Structure 1
């Protein structure tokens, strides 16, 4: 009987004891109690514990909702500010080209009626706003920035859509650089009056209530309406890195209005090739020649040729290397 009373007394007093102990002790003894991390130093003395706040990036988990576990999909409401959305549109609107898809056999980019939007790629770290968004994506997803492709900005007009597809690759050519795409962050840059939903038709979950404001396409599975500033994160691979077929997804046709979005594809490994030294001129992507042939050097110079802050990915094909550099 006495032992039971002592046990009950401990249950009552233990929480108060922990609170008092926390208040009396130095914060260094309880790292993480307010969200901070340990101050871990690498062998080179670099602090590895910088939080999102240290980087000037604020991530609010309370804005994130889980949409589905099959596939794993999450919606972050208000991920981008209106100003960030408008900035990405301004960077892209004069440089849009017909969207292409990767051929399943060759891996080359080809035109297809599967995808009828227009788009263009920004350069990584193209300016302060783009760099901040990339930092924000890395902080939310816990994937290194170097695992991501450059952000692609897309515009869908009336009737334009992207039929059901996977973001992971079927061909070996695209898998050679960075491996499969493991995750996708799809950011909505504008509101759409009707249509334009992102839908997962192969999802095994069906708990969403959908009224007549949804298009018929958007009612065919777990779906997200495009709302300015929101971001959708979904995984194309299982945790063991095998393809998740339930990640099949599509962009429904726009019925009324127009849809702007920005996509960041993230790979299982670094997507960046080592930077060449100053005595070598080379392309950073196997399709640079094809892109240059259709005029991308002038239509999308920030990505192809580069900026003062960021080297272009296709300088050799664009023939902008300095004349005294050795070509490869």
Structure 2
């Protein structure tokens, strides 16, 4: 009889302990949820009034409504999709808001010039038949604008590459019949890696809709075929969609350049394709 009482007492003790533990865990989760708005401070605080109107949160995320980082990172909007492992390609749906896309286009429009490629001997841009678009680079002052800072912060977090390792954003426009032949973003010469080291990754952001053709083409990715400027090609193609962004890596996990990261811009058949490119390097590049 005494043994039965002892077992019953132990079971009661364990049950009460489990209940108390569960209540403590619920209390902890509640505190964590309530404090989530202050757990992730920005490196550079962005005035909320300046952000209002172009960075918002979807319904159902009200506990982040006062979290500036959640607004900057577009928590609840950005949807990552792993497209390919070798080379590593990730598609981020809704990476930019429509307002951010239009803002970048508005800055670029008056300053567009014929696009160039990097000269391996001088590091300067030179005209080439492999690239027929027009474009411009944001300057260091524009990089300080609140909306540009928000985009830079988002790129750094989703790529896990520090913002200071990134080159200035380049905005490009491809009109009908324009293209960019397959190429590598990494450098094959010593001159261009003197400042900032090798290019390790690229974030390519699409700024316009209603484009026919203009896909981003990876000849060495995937095992099938895809439509590139209306032609069926071996490889993998990503169709441009306003606000979407493609992150791909020019270096493998072993730290060596990845020849499979070769890519190009397919011919635009109708409309205009606008994009913004952010190249990221091994070290601080500015």
Instruction: Give the TM-score band, short-chain normalised.
Output: 0.7 to 0.9
Structure whose residues are more often strand by fraction: 2
How far does residue 22 in structure 1 lie from its aligned partner after superposition? 1.5
How far does residue 106 in structure 1 lie from its aligned partner after superposition? 4.2
8 Å Cα contact 1:57-1:139 kept in structure 2:
no
- Which shows bigger deviation, 238-247 or 154-163? 238-247
8 Å Cα contact 1:85-1:229 kept in structure 2:
yes
* Distance in 2 between residues matched to 1:59 and 1:218, nearest whole Å: 35
8 Å Cα contact 2:213-2:229 kept in structure 1:
yes
* Distance in 2 between residues matched to 1:177 and 1:170, nearest whole Å: 14
Is 1:23–2:26 an aligned residue pair? yes
- Once the two structures are superposed, residues 161-187 of structure 1 have per-residue CA deviations (whole angstroms, 9 ceiling, x without a partner) of 110000011111110111111110000
Question: Normalized against structure 1, the TM-score is what?
Answer: 0.66
* Distance in 2 between residues matched to 1:259 and 1:38, nearest whole Å: 35
* Other-structure match for 2:240: 226
Is 1:271–2:285 an aligned residue pair? yes
* Other-structure match for 1:58: 73
Give secondary structure in 2 for the equivalent of 1:87. Answer: helix
> Aligned match of 1:187 in 180, 199, 205?
205
How far does residue 240 in structure 1 lie from its aligned partner after superposition? 2.6
> Aligned match of 2:117 in 97, 101, 113?
101
Structure whose residues are more often helix by fraction: 2
8 Å Cα contact 1:114-1:162 kept in structure 2:
yes
Number of equivalenced pairs = 242
The alpha-carbon distance between structure 1 residues 74 and 35, as it changes in their structure 2 partners (threshold 3 A), is farther
* Distance in 2 between residues matched to 1:87 and 1:215, nearest whole Å: 27
Question: Normalized against structure 2, the TM-score is what?
Answer: 0.75
8 Å Cα contact 2:166-2:280 kept in structure 1:
yes
Is 1:240–2:243 an aligned residue pair? no
* Distance in 2 between residues matched to 1:163 and 1:137, nearest whole Å: 25
Give secondary structure in 2 for the equivalent of 1:269. Answer: coil
The alpha-carbon distance between structure 1 residues 109 and 38, as it changes in their structure 2 partners (threshold 3 A), is closer
* Distance in 2 between residues matched to 1:80 and 1:104, nearest whole Å: 33
8 Å Cα contact 1:101-1:111 kept in structure 2:
yes
Question: Could you say what the CA RMSD is over the residues aligned between the two structures, in angstroms?
Answer: 3.1
Instruction: Provide structure 1 residue ranges, at least 5 long, that are not aligned to the other structure.
Output: 1-14, 40-52, 273-328
